[in-house]
Amino acid sequence: MATKATTQKYHYACGKRKTSIASVRLIENGTGKVVVNEQPMEEYFYGVLIGLVKAPLKLVGKTKAYDLSVKVQGGGKSSQAEAVRHGISKALVEADMLNRPTLKKAGFLIRDSRVKERKKPGLKKARRSPQWAKR
């Protein structure tokens, strides 16, 4: 059985942040509905993260022009939201190249490559050494 997402034309992009990976489908001729992991976005994300996810659409002025279908995995909610934002931005550029300068200036197309540093042997964390005792 074909779903609405597979029968309509869409633009695909993959967004990343820390260990989160978001697969974004930007479905044309939509109503502004956003579905994340088969849940409405308002149920999956909360508070400021909703605005963070919608930021690229708002910046381009296409909040009601597309429907979004997102699959996101790994990391925490905050990093997932930023991965979704990155994916939406890339999909918007694929849909219309005129969106690129606006999104690039806002910094939404840059993959934030900062990840947690690995723990080193003899230390408690990546850089935190054990407490020093004089006696």
**Mean pLDDT, all residues of the chain:** 93
Q: What is the rounded CA–CA span in Å between residue 64 and residue 110?
A: 24
pLDDT in tens, 9-26: 999 999 999 999 999 999
Provide the b/e sequence for 28-57 (b: ≥16 CB within 10 Å): eebeeebbbeeeebeebbeeebeeebbbbb
Rounded alpha-carbon distances, angstroms, from residue 2 to 8, 67, 70, 71, 114: 10, 17, 18, 18, 39
Question: In this predicted structure, what is the pLDDT of residue 135?
Answer: 85
Closest CA to 80 of 17, 13, 14, 12: 17
Widest pairwise Cα distance in the chain: 73
Question: Under CATH, which architecture does the 4-106 domain have?
Answer: 2-Layer Sandwich (3.30)
pLDDT in tens, 49-104: 999 999 999 999 999 999 999 999 999 999 999 999 999 999 999 999 999 999 99
Q: State mean pLDDT over 102-108.
A: 96
Question: In this predicted structure, what is the pLDDT of residue 3?
Answer: 55
Q: Quick check: 82 and 52 in contact, CB under 8 A? A: yes
pLDDT band of residue 7 (cuts 50, 70, 90) is: confident
pLDDT band of residue 8 (cuts 50, 70, 90) is: confident
Map tokens 């939404």 to a residue: 108
pLDDT band of residue 1 (cuts 50, 70, 90) is: very low
Question: In this predicted structure, what is the pLDDT of residue 62?
Answer: 92
Q: Which residue has the higher pLDDT, 62 or 4?
A: 62
Question: In this predicted structure, what is the pLDDT of residue 17?
Answer: 96
Domains in the chain: boundaries: 4-106
Residue 68 backbone dihedrals phi, psi, to 5 degrees: -120, 130
Question: In this predicted structure, what is the pLDDT of residue 6?
Answer: 53
